[in-house]
Structure 1
Amino acid sequence: MQNPWRKVFLKEELASTTTTTTTTSQWDSALVKLVPSAKFEAACREALSAVHLAVLETFGSEAQLLVFGSLLQGAHLEGSDLDLCVSVPVPSQGVEAGADNSWQVASLKRLLSRLVTPGGPFQSIESRFWKTIKVPIIIVGCRTSSGEDVEADISVGFECDGLRKDVTDRLVRGVLARHPRVLQAVRAVKLWAKCEGVNKAYDGFPSSLVWTLLVLYFFIERGEVASLSPISKDPFDLEEVSEDGSSLPPALHSSHLEGDLPPEQQLPSADLADFFLWVVATASSWPRDTESAIGSWGLSLVDGALIPVPEPSKKYADQCTFFVEDPGARVAKGLSENVARSLKAPSWANVLLKCRGAAAALGSEAQAAAWLGRLTRKAAWMKAKPKLGQPPQPVGPPPKRAWPGSGRAEAPSQQAKRPRTGEVCRWFLKGQCWSGNSCKMSHAQYV
C-alpha cells in the first residue's frame, strides 16, 4: 500500500524529474528550500516578544528570558520549536527552592495561566510536571498575526547541572557562522532525522543536538573545520548575539536564499552521502570497553579527536556506549559529559540501517535532489495538522445498524473513531499503542 503523502506529491515529483534544469541547480534549489522563510522568522520573533511580556507581567521586572537551542545556533528548520528558559526570583517562603522540582513547576503554572487566556494567541499543548523529571517544561503554541503557528518549549532556570543552557549553542553558532557548507549539511541531516523519526532522545535515538555535533565532528575530522578550542575561550564573544540572550539573532548566511554563495561554499551531495557512511563506519569501529585498557572513549569537538572519557553510569540494560562530548560542558566546567547518554542499542542499530539507506539514495546529484525534495514535502505533510486555537470536533455516540430482517439494532463491535491529528503516534510505530481507533494521533506508516 502506498504512503498517503507519496500519493499527494507523486505528480509533483514526476514533473520535477522531467525539467530541463541541470542536476546541480536542482540540488542547490533543494538546499535553498531548507532555509526557514522570512515569515516564519518574523513569527518566531513575535512569539518571543509575547512570551517575554508575559514573563515580566507574571514575575516582575527582575525576571529574565533566555533563548537557546537551534534558533540560537542558526541551524533551525521551518517549524522548529522555540526553546526558552526563564530566570525568576527565588521565593523567600512557601515552596522550598532547590529541594525538588516543585518550585519550577509552581513557576511554570503561574506563567501558563498568564499565557493561555480566552481569546489569546497561546494554547497549551503539553505540560511535563512529573516529580522525577529534572527540567519541567511547558509546551505552548502561539498563533501569530501572520497566521503562522510557533511552538515554544519553556523551562525555568538559566542553568542545568551547573552549565548555562546556551553555551553549547553559542559554540555551534560560531562554527556555522564561518562555514556555510556545514550549516547546509546540518539542516539536511536534521530534516532527514525528523522525517525518519530518529531525532527524539526519549525514544532512545540521537537528539537534534547530537546530530548537529556529529556533522560538526565529521567536518573537523576531514580537516575542513578547525576544532572548537580556538573559539572556546569566550563562547559569548558573538557580535550578532545579545549578551543577555533575550532576543533572536539574525539568520546565518542569508545570501544563500538568493543563490549568491560561491561554489566552494556550497555543499555537494557526495559530502552528505559520505557523512552517513562515516556514521556507520564510526559506530562499527567503536572501541569496546572490554577491548580497551583505558576504558570508555568519546568524540570530542574541542580536541577534534577520539579521547578517553570517564566511565558513564549505566542506567538502562540496553544503553549504548556511543559517547559524544558536550563541548559546552568541556569549555565551561572542564568535564566530559555525554549528550548521547539516552541512546539505546536497538534504536542505534535502527539508525545505522537508515544511514545506509540514505547514503544509497544520494548516489548522484539528480537522485540527491529528488531525495531531499521528498523529505521536504514529507516534512510539510507532517506539519499539516489542526491549527492552533481550533477546538476538536465533538464526537457523538457510535451509530447503530440493524440486522437484516430483524427489528433490533446492533452497536458496532469496534470503538468509534476520533478525529486524528497529523502527527504520527510513536507508540503505534513501535506496535505498542493500545488505544486503537480511539487514539488521537495518526496510525500511518512510512517506509
Structure 2
Amino acid sequence: MAESIITSDNPSSSSPLNPPSRIICHVCQKQFSQYTCPRCNSRYCSLRCYKSHSLRCTESFMRDNVVGELGQMQPDDETKQKMLDILKRLHSEEETDSMDEDDTTTLSDETVQKILSGDQVCFDDLSAEEKKQFQRALASGELSKMIEPWDPWWLKPSARTISLSKEGTQLVQPLDKKEALVSLEEDLESNPSSEIPHGPESPLPPVSKLSSTEPSPMLAVHLVDILYSYCFTLRLYNGDWQSDAVGSAMVVLSVSAVLGQGGQPETVLEALSHCLEQTCSPAYRQMGGLQLGLILIDDVISLLSLGGPALVYSLCDLQRLIQAGERELKSEKPKNSRRVEIRSKLKLAERKIYFIMCWVHEQPGEAWSSLAAMVGGEKSSAMDYEGSKQPVKMSNKAETRGRALIEEIK
C-alpha cells in the first residue's frame, strides 16, 4: 500500500496495519514534518520552522523553562554579591558613557567649591568656557525649564481681601515692633515668594505732616510709573527680589522715570511711554519686549482695581525692596563714589515711595477705578501694534501729548 501524504494540521495515527502518514510541514510547506509543537500541536520540520511558526509559543516556552530553572536555583551569598558587583559596574559605566557623550563640560573645581561652601557665585566668577555654557543654556531656554513659574500675588483671590486700619497698618500684626521685624524677616527668608506681601507695620502719617505744600496733582500719574516698575521687577526676578536686592533695586531705578531719573510725567500716556520704552530697550528686550509691556500694563490695572489697601501693600513691598538694596550697598567694602551715588538715589527713591504711599492711603476708593480706566484706555493705543511686524519707535516726552503711544517707522 502506498504512503499517503496529508497536508492537514490534524495529527495522524499509525499502526502496524496502517502505515504512517507523511504530513507536510505547516510552516514552510516544503518538507515533511517530523515534530509537533507541544503548545499548539502544529507540525514542523526543523528548528527554524519551529521558531517562526508562532512567536507566542516560542516565547512562552522559553519563559516557562527559564522560570523553572531559576525556581530550582538557590543562590548563595557569594552569588548574590557577584551579581550586585556586576550591576554596580554596569551602572558606573553607563554614567561614564553619558558624561562622555555630553557636549558640555562640568564646572571647574573652584566654582564647585564656592557653591558647596554656600558662597554666592556671580557671572564674573565663571570661566570663559562656563560663561559660554551658561549663555547657551540661557538662549536655548534650558534654564527657564528649571524655574517654577511665579504667579503675581495681585492676581490671586486672596489679594481681594486685603484691608488696612484707619491708621494705614495691616489689621493683624505682632504685639511689639521688635517681634514684628523678626517675624517679617523670618517669613521672607522661609518663603520669599509668599502669597501676599506685608503691609505697613507702623501708622502712616498724614501727607500734611510730611510736606508743607499741597501734593502735586500729577501724583496719580507718578503712581502708574512706580507700579509699572514694581511689577516689572517682580516678574523679572520671578517674585524673588530678595535673591538680589541691589540688582532688583537697580532695575526699579532704570525702569521708573520718577524714581530713577527724577522724572515728572504729566499724563498717563507719557508715563507708560517711558516704561514701555525701557521694556523694549536692548537691556530688557529679551524678556519679551512689547508683549511683556502689555502684560505689565494689565498688572498695573489689576493693582489699581484692587483699591487703596492693595496699593499700599505693593508700595510697602517696593519700599522694603529699595531698603534692602540700600543696606546691602552700605555693607559692601570697599566703598567708592559710584556706590555712594547709587545709595543716594535709593534713599531718595525710598522717600518718594513712602510719601506717595501715605498719599494713596488718604485717597477715596473710587479714585483708583477711574485711574485704572484711564490706563486701560491708553493701553488700546499700544494694542494697535499687536501682531504687526513693522519696526517701531517710542515717542519721546515732547511728542507723547495727543499722539499715539507707538508709531511705525516710515
Please say whether Structure 1 and Structure 2 have the same fold, judged by a TM-score greater than 0.5: no
Q: Which has the higher contact order (CA 8 A, sep 6+)?
A: 1
Q: What is the TM-score with the length of structure 2 in the denominator?
A: 0.25
The structure with the largest helix share of the pair is 2
Q: Which protein shows a greater Rg?
A: 2
The structure with the largest strand share of the pair is 1
